[in-house]
Structure 1
Amino acid sequence: MRKNSTYEVFQRSLITARRNKNLTQAQLAVLLNRPQSFVCKYEIGERRLDVIEFIEVCRVLSISPEIFIREMINQS
Structure 2
Amino acid sequence: MSKSLYRRETTILLKLIKECRTEAGLTQADFAKALDRPQSFVSDIERGSRRLDLIQLRDICAVLGLSLVGFVERFEQLVAES
Pairwise TM-score range, normalised by the shorter structure: over 0.9
1:34 equivalent in structure 2: 37
Q: 1:24 corresponds to which residue?
A: 27
SS of alignment partner, residue 6 of structure 2: coil
TM-score using structure 1 length? 0.95
Letter in 1 for 2:7: N
Is 1:73 aligned to 2:53, yes or no? Answer: no
Cα-to-partner distance string for 1:22-59 (whole Å, 9 max, x where unaligned)? 10000000001100000000111001111000000101
- The answer to which structure, 1 or 2, has the higher relative contact order (CA under 8 A, 6+ apart) is 1
RMSD across aligned C-alpha pairs, in angstroms? Answer: 1.0
Q: Which runs of 4+ in 1 moved over 6 A?
A: none
CA drift at 1:2: 3.7
Equivalenced residue count is 76
| CA distances 1:50-73 after superposition (whole Å, capped 9, x unpaired) | 100000010111101101111111
Identity %, equivalent residues: 33
Work out the CA distance in 1 between the residues paired with 2:5 and 2:75: 20
Structure 2, gaps ≥5 residues long? none
TM-score, length of structure 2 as denominator length? 0.88
2-structure distance, mates of 1:70, 1:48? 20
The letter of the residue matching 1:35 is P
